[in-house]
Amino acid sequence: MGTWTKVLLSAIVGLIAILIVGLIGINMYIGKSKPIIDGEVSVNFLEKDVEVVRDANGVPHIKADSDADMYRAQGYVQAQDRLFQMDLARRQASGRLAEVVGAAAVDTDKTFRTFSLRNAAEASYDGYGEEAKKVLGWFAEGVNAYIEQAKEEGKLPYEFKVLAYEPELWTPIDSLTIGKYMAYDLGGNWDSLAVRHWALNNFPEEKARELFVSYPENAPSIIEANLKTPVEVAGRFNPDLVPHEFNGSNNWVVSGDKTASGKPLLADDPHLGLNTPSIWYQMHLQSPEQNVSGVIFAGVPGIILGHNENIAWGVTNVGPDVQDLYIEIPNPEDPTQFRYDGKWEQAEVRDETIKVKGEEDVPFEVIVTRHGPIMSNILYKSEDPGALFSMQWTALEPTKELEAIMRMNKAADWKTFEAALEDFHAPAQNFVFAAKDGTIAYKANGRIPIRKKGDAQLPVPGDSSEYGWVGYVPYDELPRVVNPKEGFIATANNEVVDNTYPYHITKFWSQPYRYMRIAEVLSDGGNFTAQDMMDLQMDQVNLYAREFLQDLIGSIKVMDSEGDYIDVIEMLEEWNQVDSLNVGAPLVFHKLMKQLPKTMFSGEMPEDVYKLMPGKGQIVDQMLRDAYSGKSGVWVTNYGGVNKWVYDSFGIVIEEIEKQFGNDPTKWKWGDFHQLAFPHSLSAASPIFAYFLNPDKQAIGGSNVTVQAAAFKDDGTVNHGASWRFVADLSDLSTAHHIVGPGQSGHMKSKWFHDQAKDWAKGIYHETVLDGEIGKGHTLKLKAK
pLDDT of residue 380: 41
Lowest-confidence pick of 192-206, 230-244, 328-342: 230-244
Residue 674 pLDDT greater than 90, yes or no: yes
pLDDT of residue 29: 62
Residue 567 pLDDT greater than 80, yes or no: yes
- Asked if residue 639 lies in contact with residue 632, where contact means CB atoms within 8 angstroms, the answer is no
% of the chain at pLDDT higher than 70? 95
As a whole number, mean pLDDT of residues 206-210 equals 94
With bands split at pLDDT 50, 70 and 90, how would you rate the model's confidence at 214? confident
Question: Which 3-state string (H, E, C) describes 177-192?
Answer: HHHHHHHHHHCCCHHH
Reduce the DSSP state of residue 550 to 3 states and report it.
Answer: helix
Residue 5 pLDDT greater than 80, yes or no: no
With bands split at pLDDT 50, 70 and 90, how would you rate the model's confidence at 383? low
Residue 389 pLDDT greater than 60, yes or no: yes
As a whole number, mean pLDDT of residues 242-247 equals 79
Lowest-confidence pick of 81-95, 107-121, 511-525, 682-696: 682-696
In sequence order, the 6+-apart residues with CB closer than 8 A to the CB of 20 are none
pLDDT of residue 377: 59
**Residue range 469-484, pLDDT digits in tens:** 999 999 999 999 999 9
Residue 678 pLDDT greater than 50, yes or no: yes
pLDDT of residue 219: 78
Distance CA 68, CA 541 (A): 47
pLDDT of residue 33: 85
**Residue range 725-747, pLDDT digits in tens:** 999 999 999 999 999 999 999 99
pLDDT of residue 9: 44
User: Residue 370 carries which side chain, given as an amino acid letter?
Assistant: R
pLDDT of residue 7: 38
As a whole number, mean pLDDT of residues 317-326 equals 95
Lowest-confidence pick of 22-31, 255-264, 518-527, 610-619: 22-31
pLDDT of residue 410: 98
**Residue range 590-641, pLDDT digits in tens:** 999 999 999 999 999 999 999 999 999 999 999 999 999 999 999 999 999 9
Relative to beta strand 440-445, strand 429-435 is antiparallel
Residue 650: CA count within 13 A, CB half-sphere: 24
Lowest-confidence pick of 130-134, 534-538, 679-683: 679-683
Distance CA 240, CA 108 (A): 10
pLDDT of residue 772: 83
- CATH class given for the domain over 543-676: mainly alpha
Query: What residues form DSSP beta bridges with 62?
Result: 52, 285
As a whole number, mean pLDDT of residues 204-216 equals 88
Residue 445 pLDDT greater than 60, yes or no: yes
Bond preceding residue 665 cis, omega within 30 of 0: no
Residue 337: CA count within 13 A, CB half-sphere: 11
Distance CA 89, CA 178 (A): 7
Residue 97 pLDDT greater than 80, yes or no: yes
**Would you list the DSSP string of 150-214?**
HHHTT-S-HHHHHHT--PPPP-HHHHHHHHHHHHHHHS--HHHHHHHHHHHHHS-HHHHHTTSSS
**Residue range 144-178, pLDDT digits in tens:** 999 999 999 999 999 999 899 999 999 999 999 99
Label residue 382 exposed, middle or buried (CB < 10 Å: 0-12, 13-18, 19+): exposed
Domain ranges of the chain: 543-676
Q: What angle do CA 371, 377, 381 make, to 5 degrees?
A: 90
pTM equals 0.94
Average pLDDT, the chain: 93
pLDDT of residue 10: 44
As a whole number, mean pLDDT of residues 644-663 equals 98
